């Protein structure tokens, strides 16, 4: 399925619109008496979305029906400034009334190999399966300047095709160990949404969305859900090299 490209005037407008979409998805599951599973991305981009969900939509979301997971985590303690969990906790989780059992943290302080296996089992327990892999209702991804997604870096593309749900990866510059969901899980989501903003990523966005020959090098170019929906949510700056912009 071709990606749906949505361009917003600013990161704030993107966050407002997408938060509203997330609420619709949660409510649709709620009315079917189903829980809604979301895998969050790390990095800075989602902070605005977290704040909008916590401050503008908090009262309209049945949080007991929402289960939060992470697409990846750095192998650090939860209070470490590097922790993706810490970021979500600060901007969202501490501001909403959600049962602690609905927050499925990757235990970054655990042994990476053991935690990768443990987390995969936790996902299996909560996330519905489709085609033999967990199928999240929503996976949110950012994209690094090298085209990495979650913690799948260009030099570790085997993680895109792993038969496992989670793998341990190594940051190419810092050698920091990470735990990441794999490409098969990302491509099994009902909805996978890239949130990419800023001029610095504009060229990469155009290379990937225009399917340039060299784009195979970027893990982000390999994220194309087989049966789910793929959306690229961009601000105007990140879309400047897309045609008819």
Output the smallest distance, CB 74 to ligand 6PG, in A. 6
3-state secondary structure of 120: helix
| Nearest of 150, 143, 157 to residue 200 by alpha carbon | 143
Distance CA 94, CA 86 (A): 10
List 3, 43, 78, 154, residue binding ligand 6PG (CB under 6 A): 43
From 52-60, 96-104, 142-150, 156-164, span contacting ligand 6PG (CB under 6 A): 142-150
Q: Is 207 in the site for ligand 6PG (CB under 6 A)?
A: no
Q: Which is nearer to ligand 6PG, 35 or 238 (CB)?
A: 238
3-state secondary structure of 93: helix
**Neighbour-count burial for 31-51, b at 16+ CB within 10 Å, e otherwise:** eeeebbbbbbbbeebbbbbbb
Element (H, E) at 143: none
Q: Is 239 in the site for ligand 6PG (CB under 6 A)?
A: no
Residues from 69 through 108 that contact ligand 6PG (CB under 6 A): 72, 84
Q: Is 149 in the site for ligand 6PG (CB under 6 A)?
A: yes
Q: Is 228 in the site for ligand 6PG (CB under 6 A)?
A: no
- Kindly determine how many residues on this chain lie close enough to bind ligand 6PG according to the rule CB under 6 A: 14
């Amino acid at each position: 399925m071709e990606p749906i490209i949505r361009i917003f005037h600013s990161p704030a407008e993107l966050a407002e619109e997408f938060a509203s979409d997330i609420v619709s998805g949660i409510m649709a599951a709620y009315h079917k008496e189903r829980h809604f599973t979301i895998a969050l991305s790390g990095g800075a981009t989602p902070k605005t979305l977290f704040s909008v969900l916590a401050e503008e939509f908090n009262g309209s979301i049945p949080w007991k029906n929402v289960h939060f997971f992470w697409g990846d985590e750095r192998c650090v303690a939860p209070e470490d400034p590097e922790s993706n969990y810490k970021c979500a906790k600060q901007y969202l989780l501490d501001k909403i009334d959600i049962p602690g059992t609905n927050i499925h943290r990757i235990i970054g302080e655990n042994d990476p190999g053991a935690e990768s296996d443990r987390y995969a089992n936790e996902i299996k327990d909560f996330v519905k399966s489709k085609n033999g892999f967990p199928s999240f209702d929503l996976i949110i991804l950012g994209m690094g300047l090298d085209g990495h997604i979650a913690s799948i870096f260009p030099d570790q593309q085997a993680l895109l095709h792993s038969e496992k749900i989670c793998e341990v990866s190594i940051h190419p510059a810092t050698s920091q160990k990470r735990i990441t969901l794999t490409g098969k899980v990302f491509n099994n989501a009902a909805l996978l949404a890239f949130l990419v903003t800023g001029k610095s990523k504009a060229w990469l966005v155009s290379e990937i969305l225009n399917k340039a020959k060299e784009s195979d090098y970027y893990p982000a170019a390999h994220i194309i859900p087989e049966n789910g929906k793929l959306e690229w949510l961009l601000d105007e700056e990140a879309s400047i090299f897309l045609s008819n912009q």
